[in-house]
């Protein structure tokens, strides 16, 4: 899967922001907080790397605040738009508990059709990338696999490994070590093309669900109204780090493909994804569950 790490403004485009020159010129003058998923979750790892990398260039401590997936977006959206509270978001590899009697997506779909309503997906809270990926899968495969929400990616992942839940759509970075250790079985990647991060693993389209695409994206968000100059500064520093050989090595080893870009580029990607997935989820009646 391809993962994009960048900085943009939550719920508003940069063109709509009014910069505060004095504030931006003095930024930062106090510690910065990155609100992310519970410790050990898929978003926690990149958040901590970014925090460590930005502490030196920005001259301030970057604090990682682990919260429930359900709460983090609300916390950031309501924070002062001053660049001191940021959100690290993510989405996928379809994995199942190794005791499941299947080794392919086609077999998984066949089992779900034979046992409607009996299988379940572990998701890191309503509206999370795993939740959306699972709903998209249900709609496109014509199956009824129930979503079981947990308070973050880490507990959701633990639930699958323990056998409490049957399957999950998780980021490559979070599931890779468990797949390697035999605690999970990977069936396919959700990206449009095969990924170097999961050698030999077919795409969902190749594995039996044509047209399926659910890629994991990590990004930093700031509250709407954050000065454009502050967003640009953060974006520049994050991009500089992600392009470094050190960051490339660390992230690729962890199953994440760094692809830094501009806030405008990421906003366009988000709009495209919302249009594409939103139409499918609406047709599937996602809001009903």
Dist CA 155 CA 39 (whole Å): 10
pLDDT in tens, the chain (289 residues): 333 333 333 323 322 233 344 455 678 888 888 877 777 666 778 888 888 998 999 898 888 888 765 565 665 566 665 554 444 643 489 999 999 999 999 999 999 999 999 999 999 877 777 888 898 899 899 999 999 999 888 899 999 999 999 999 988 777 888 998 999 999 999 887 887 667 788 999 999 999 888 876 677 887 778 888 888 888 888 888 888 999 888 877 776 777 787 888 877 877 887 787 777 667 766 544 4
Contact of 1 with 259, CB cutoff 8 Å: no
Residue 50: inside a domain: yes
Q: Indicate whether 160 and 228 sit together in one domain.
A: no
> What is the pLDDT at residue 41?
64
| Largest Cα span, the chain | 64
Q: Residue 34: which of 226, 222, 197, 169 has the closest Cα?
A: 222
Strands (E), 100-245: 120-123, 146-149, 167-170, 185-189, 219-222
- The edge-to-edge listing of strands for the beta sheet with 219-222 is 7-9, 219-222, 85-89, 32-36, 62-66
pTM of the full predicted structure?
0.63
Q: Indicate whether 81 and 221 sit together in one domain.
A: yes
Residue 287: inside a domain: no
Q: What residues make up the domain containing 200?
A: 93-214
Q: Structural domain tally of the chain? A: 2
Q: Indicate whether 162 and 22 sit together in one domain.
A: no
CA neighbours closer than 13 Å in the CB half-sphere of residue 275: 6
> What is the pLDDT at residue 81?
59
Contact of 43 with 174, CB cutoff 8 Å: no
> What is the pLDDT at residue 132?
84
Quick count: other Cβ atoms within 10 Å of Cβ 91?
25
């Amino acid at each position: 899967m391809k993962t994009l790490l960048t900085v943009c403004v939550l719920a508003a485009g940069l063109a709509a922001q009014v910069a505060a020159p004095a504030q931006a010129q003095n930024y930062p003058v106090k510690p910065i907080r990155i609100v992310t998923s519970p410790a050990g979750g898929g978003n926690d790892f990149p958040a901590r790397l970014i925090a460590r990398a930005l502490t030196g260039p920005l001259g301030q401590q970057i604090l990682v605040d682990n919260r429930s997936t359900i709460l983090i977006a609300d916390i950031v959206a309501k924070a002062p738009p001053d660049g001191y509270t940021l959100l690290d978001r993510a989405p996928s590899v379809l994995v199942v508990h190794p005791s499941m009697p299947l080794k392919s997506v086609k077999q998984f779909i066949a089992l779900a059709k034979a046992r409607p309503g009996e299988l379940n997906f572990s998701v890191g809270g309503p509206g999370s990338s795993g939740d959306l990926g699972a709903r998209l899968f249900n709609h496109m495969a014509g199956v009824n696999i129930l979503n079981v929400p947990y308070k973050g990616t880490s507990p959701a992942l633990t639930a699958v490994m323990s056998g409490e839940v049957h399957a999950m759509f998780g980021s490559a970075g979070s599931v890779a070590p468990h797949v390697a250790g035999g605690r999970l079985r990977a069936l396919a990647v959700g990206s449009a093309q095969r990924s170097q991060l999961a050698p030999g693993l077919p795409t969902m389209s190749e594995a039996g669900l044509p047209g399926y695409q659910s890629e994991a994206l990590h990004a930093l968000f700031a509250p709407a109204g954050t000065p454009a100059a502050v967003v640009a500064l953060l974006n520049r520093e994050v991009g500089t780090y992600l392009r470094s050989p050190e960051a490339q090595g660390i992230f690729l080893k962890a199953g994440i493909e760094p692809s830094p870009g501009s806030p405008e580029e990421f906003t366009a990607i988000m709009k495209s994804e919302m249009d594409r997935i939103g139409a499918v989820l609406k047709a599937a009646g996602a809001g009903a569950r």
